[in-house]
Amino acid sequence: MAVKEVILLGNPLLREKSSDAAFDDELERIIEDLKDTLTHLQNEKGIGRALAAPQIGYLKRVIFVNAKSSKNPRTMTLINPTIVEKSKEIIEVWDSCYSFDVAFFVRIKRHKRIKVEYMDENGRKIVEEFEDDLSELLQHEIDHLNGILATDHLRSGKDIIMREEWEKRYLN
C-alpha cells in the first residue's frame, strides 16, 4: 500500500510506451498503488477520475478508474487494454491530467464511442463499449500507455485555459 508521487509533464518517462502486464506480484502492487494514489489525489485535488500506471512510474499497461461523478459511475481496473473500434462521431471535451497537476485544461476532440478489449483483475477478458465521458476518459488513459498526452491533441494554442478560469466559465 503506497501513495506514489505523480510524474509531471516534461518528464520523459511519460513519453515511453508501456509494455503488457503479466499476472504476477508486481501487477498486484501496481493496482494497489494506483488505487491508493488515485484516492489520495481525488481527496487532495477534488477532481479527477482515473490514473494510468506510467504516471506513477510503472511502465505497464494498467489503468485504474474511479469515475464516481460520471452519469454512469464506474470503478474498474483495465489490464492490457486496446481500443478495437472507434466511432466516426467525434465529441469536443475539456481535458486535464494529474500529470499537469490539474492546473490547466485543453479543449480537444475524442471519439464519442469506443470498444475496448481488456482484462479485469481476475484475468477475465472483457470486450466493452464506452460512450461519452467514459469513452473520452479511456482514450486519455490508453494514450498514457502509449506515451501520448492530452496536450498532443491540441489544434490551437487558444484551446488552453487555466483551471480557475475554466471553473468560472465552464462549471455549472
Q: What residues line the site for Zn ion (CB under 5 A)?
A: 97
* Residue 147 identity (one-letter amino acid): G
Nearer to Zn ion, 80 or 139 (CB): 139
Nearer to Zn ion, 119 or 136 (CB): 136
Contact 49, 71 (CB under 8 A): no
At its nearest, how many Å lie between Zn ion and the CB of residue 48? 9
If 0-12 CB within 10 Å is exposed, 13-18 middle and 19+ buried, where does residue 76 land?
Answer: middle
Q: Does the annotation mark 117 as catalytic? A: no
If 0-12 CB within 10 Å is exposed, 13-18 middle and 19+ buried, where does residue 53 land?
Answer: buried
At its nearest, how many Å lie between Zn ion and the CB of residue 143? 8
At its nearest, how many Å lie between Zn ion and the CB of residue 84? 22
Nearer to Zn ion, 22 or 43 (CB): 43
Could you say which of 26, 32, 85, 141 is catalytic? Answer: 141
d(CA 19, CA 59): 6
Residues marked as catalytic? 141
